[in-house]
Structure 1
Amino acid sequence: MVHIHHELSLAMDRVLTFIHGEFHRPISREEMAQSAGLSIWYFSKVFKEYTGVTPNEYVTNVRMASAKKQLLFSSSAIQVIAEGAGYPDEFYFSRKFKQSEHLSPRQYRVEKRSAMAALALPFTGHLLSLGVIPHVATVDSTRDLHLKEELLHIPVHLKRSKQMSKELWHENLAHLREAEPGLILCPDLFSAQIKREIEKIAPTIIVPWLELTWREHLQEVAELSGKKREAVAWLKRYQAKTTKTRQQLKEKLGNRSVSLLHVMGGQLVIYGKRNVGAVLYEDLGLTSAYNYEEIDLYKVIEQHELSEFLGDQILVVVDRDVSSYQAWQLVKQSSDWQKLRAVEMGKVQVLKEMPWLDYSPYAHEQVVDLAVETLCK
């Protein structure tokens, strides 16, 4: 972009705003020149100096950008996408698209979606539940053993840690660039700077994390991967499985309360409506020793509060860091722990982290499969 004087710059900005607002319909060069307040010839000359391309080329680029976004971020038919991008003729749109991207719209959608990057562990679980192997995934092969043999089929593994340092982020971003993903699934929990860096690499969909439940996440990922039918089928099968397991647990446990204590970063944590709480209390209908609905994500508790939150049966997950191990040893030796009813009755089980703490359908189905065996010993 060359430097032009202020008034012409403002005129060009008006044109660009006009184009971005009207590209879905036919736009003539006369209309663009009129919005700039310039003659057609002078407008074309100034526009190319300002943008580096002709007005028609710029309109085409805007239309192609819109079409590519819709191809990746929706399951709309090609004809619908063509019309939304300003091309009433689907076949003409397809020719223009292939000239621009060297792929047909359908090929572009398939190729990009087949090289998806999941930048949060649960997104990997969503994709696997839909029968999609991500090209890139944030996973830990020593922790995420519940992903089973699927881990071996994921080409690129990014590192994940409860404390992501700047160095680890830079390493992950470098590997992500090298992997050349077609589409990136990114949670909205990352910093603005990290998200900007990710968006430079490939088309990126920022998925709201706390605002959506895991079922809504699944539907979002299904839309992006063109697997809405598979999502409906999976949810139907999961509902049938949880209904059966729920009845079995009710028969064997009655109203016995079940709690999961997570020793994380040296702190004692219990869960609410999300994470493992969503499966244990919402899906399987187990009795909670506390009002889990008042806790959106998780709650850190103190040792003297154990009796308020731990019920008739206790599941324990201890993180592998030193501070968590030490905290767990201190808890076990405390009188607060020793006098708990579940401890006295021998109803305490120490579990591996996964699948219990992965907020994804892939993990939740495994929890349901393990529930009777784990809880009814």
Structure 2
Amino acid sequence: MNIEQHKQDGTAPLAPYVLRSIRLIAAGEQTGMSDVDGSNRNDTEDFELLIVKSGMGQGKCYLQRPGKSLSLDQEVMGCSYYRVSFVASGDAASGLLPDKQDLACAPFAKAVELLDELYRLREASDQLELFQRFVRFQELLLFLFRQNAPAAEEKETDTERYGVEASIRHIHQYYRELLTVEELASLAGIDRWKYTRLFKEATGQVPLQYLNEVRINQAKKWLASADDKLLDIALNAGFNNEYYFNRRFKQTVGISPGQYRRSRKGQLRLVAPYLEDFIVALDMLPIAQYWHAKWGKQDYLGLHHIPTFDESSGNFEALSDYKPELILLMDRYKQQQYSQCRRISSTCILREQTHNWRKLLQTVAHYFGRTELADEAIARYDFKARSASHKLSRVMKDETVAFLRISADHIIQYTDEGQGFVSTVLYGDVGLRSHSAAGAASKAYRPGMFNLSVEDLCTLNADHLFITFDKWHSQAEGKERELLGQPEWRDLPAVRNNRVYEVDFLTWLNNGIISNGKKIDDILRVLA
């Protein structure tokens, strides 16, 4: 049926390509080229794309057809890569797929942008996000089809695309030289006004922004691997002088070239209150760690030899005793405290407030040139969560779970409507079934967090209870535990059946990658 017939019938053609799954495989993770549901590749109709995101084989792209084996270099198997599984409907759809294993994939940054978005949307349930995922996947295939089509089928418009790609290759080869937009447009054979638009469509950046990023990335490599003078690195990367290099580097990366170099060597004297989870996950150590008068420190990180800094005092001038080179802060403090930090040392503020710990980890990793470590850590966590979810689904059946944060004055329940801390792990990542006390929704003071009274407890019929104690409101030692002696508590089904599990406060009320991994360990220890 042609497009005119579709118009007459009032119907749209069915989607010829359907995404089945997308996985980010960490370097060294053992995985066979089988479908995610465990079936053998030879028995499925799935196509698979393997795109190497980081490591020695970065930028390589492979297509595996149904029933075919895929021969990969050993260096690729030691890299982090995306694995995308999809089905193609009909001969016409299959005919568009390149008849080769190794695919061109340039500019690679565009492919990574699409893959990262698809991976973020892999668990989407909202209709708009599902549609967004569908569109982005079609864009990814179109991106690959256009540059891997047979030469005889190339359209005239391909000339412009290849011109832009030629200019991108020119930037990567001659970034040390003085390059102008006019020169790049001339090289591409495209009018300047049109070239800038096409370049941005292909890379997401205008030409000079892209050039600056290439130069900064080259400088990062030399800062991490050599002890050359900053002036030499600046000139070799294409900057006219050290001052301009320093300014552009800090604008792009967030810290100075010298701080970046020391962070890569583990020599940066860094303080990052309540961000230590991310710092340790990126294989770094702070010179002082967060401590709170009521909550203590994050013992689960094992930083027993690192001195503590009392964040709850509100006086950040004490940080000067540790002589930090960089202070990294969340955007949650008073202006006076930021001013105190700036008088002590270079201070970076993470302005974006987010419950998405993956995004926050990647932001912190970008500061210190450790994005590959972040990607690998996230892939390992996702693998751990998938394994835990599969195991728990077999043993929990229809049993329900609730989480309570208990203080002297409050009982707060975290439910599956929450976006951070406990909820995303307990009910999202490992897929446990939430139970809410009846009527609790009317007492919500934050999404997914309900303030319960002692009387409300009679409606809390969860099969399992995870609890942690908050000392914030305690005027005397142990005041927060008095609830455990009340009859309303002792009558709870989970209490009567000995299914109440106390967990560490800061481990469960932190939203870092390490704390979330510890949560999964705690859950498996008592439920599996």
Write the letter of the residue equivalent to 1:144: Q
> Which of 261, 264, 275 is the matching residue for 2:407?
264
Q: Distance in 1 between matches of 2:371 and 2:348?
A: 17
Shift of 1:323: 5.5
**How has the CA–CA distance of structure 1 residues 175 and 261 changed in structure 2, closer, same or farther, with 3 Å as cutoff?**
same
**How has the CA–CA distance of structure 1 residues 299 and 87 changed in structure 2, closer, same or farther, with 3 Å as cutoff?**
farther
- Structure 2 residue aligned with 1:328: 481
CA contact (8 A) 1:187 1:208 kept: yes
- Structure 2 residue aligned with 1:11: none
Shift of 1:315: 1.4
Write the letter of the residue equivalent to 1:151: H
- Structure 2 residue aligned with 1:253: 396
Q: Distance in 1 between matches of 2:489 and 2:512?
A: 31
CA contact (8 A) 2:317 2:340 kept: no
CA contact (8 A) 1:136 1:179 kept: yes
CA contact (8 A) 2:317 2:344 kept: no
- Structure 2 residue aligned with 1:301: 452
Output aligned runs, 1:110-129, within 5 Å. Answer: 110-111=261-262, 114-120=268-274, 123-129=275-281
- Structure 1 residue aligned with 2:517: 365
CA contact (8 A) 1:265 1:324 kept: no
Find the residue that maps to 2:505 and give its secondary structure.
coil
CA contact (8 A) 2:218 2:237 kept: no
Query: 2:499 matched to 1:347?
Result: yes
- Structure 2 residue aligned with 1:374: 526
- Structure 2 residue aligned with 1:147: 301
**How has the CA–CA distance of structure 1 residues 115 and 297 changed in structure 2, closer, same or farther, with 3 Å as cutoff?**
farther
Instruction: Calculate the TM-score normalised by the size of structure 1.
Output: 0.65
Q: Distance in 1 between matches of 2:235 and 2:257?
A: 16
Q: Distance in 2 between matches of 1:312 and 1:324?
A: 30
CA contact (8 A) 1:266 1:323 kept: no
**How has the CA–CA distance of structure 1 residues 364 and 107 changed in structure 2, closer, same or farther, with 3 Å as cutoff?**
same
- Structure 1 residue aligned with 2:238: 90
CA contact (8 A) 1:139 1:159 kept: yes
CA contact (8 A) 1:273 1:282 kept: no
**How has the CA–CA distance of structure 1 residues 317 and 116 changed in structure 2, closer, same or farther, with 3 Å as cutoff?**
same
Q: Distance in 1 between matches of 2:497 and 2:217?
A: 57
CA contact (8 A) 1:182 1:203 kept: yes
Write the letter of the residue equivalent to 1:313: H
**How has the CA–CA distance of structure 1 residues 351 and 265 changed in structure 2, closer, same or farther, with 3 Å as cutoff?**
same
Give deviations 1:304-323, integer Å, cap 9, x for gaps. 22245561111121235446
- Structure 2 residue aligned with 1:285: 431
RMSD: 3.6
Write the letter of the residue equivalent to 1:261: L
Find the residue that maps to 2:241 and give its secondary structure.
helix
Give deviations 1:274-329, integer Å, cap 9, x for gaps. 11222111111111113999854743322122245561111121235446833432
**How has the CA–CA distance of structure 1 residues 112 and 344 changed in structure 2, closer, same or farther, with 3 Å as cutoff?**
closer
Find the residue that maps to 2:399 and give its secondary structure.
coil
Find the residue that maps to 1:315 and give its secondary structure.
strand
**How has the CA–CA distance of structure 1 residues 143 and 310 changed in structure 2, closer, same or farther, with 3 Å as cutoff?**
farther
**How has the CA–CA distance of structure 1 residues 248 and 88 changed in structure 2, closer, same or farther, with 3 Å as cutoff?**
closer
Q: Distance in 1 between matches of 2:283 and 2:499?
A: 37
Bigger Cα displacement from structure 2, 348-357 vs 217-226:
348-357
Structure (1/2) with the larger helix percentage: 1
Give deviations 1:317-376, integer Å, cap 9, x for gaps. 1235446833432x2333432332212222112233242222211111122123211224
Q: Distance in 2 between matches of 1:349 and 1:305?
A: 20
CA contact (8 A) 1:314 1:347 kept: yes
- Structure 1 residue aligned with 2:54: none
Find the residue that maps to 2:434 and give its secondary structure.
coil
Contiguous gaps of at least 5 residues in structure 1: 1-69, 99-104
- Larger relative contact order, structure 1 or 2 (CA cutoff 8 Å, min sep 6): 1
Shift of 1:227: 0.8
**How has the CA–CA distance of structure 1 residues 96 and 287 changed in structure 2, closer, same or farther, with 3 Å as cutoff?**
closer
- Structure 2 residue aligned with 1:49: none
Instruction: Calculate the TM-score normalised by the size of structure 2.
Output: 0.47
Q: Distance in 1 between matches of 2:349 and 2:258?
A: 24
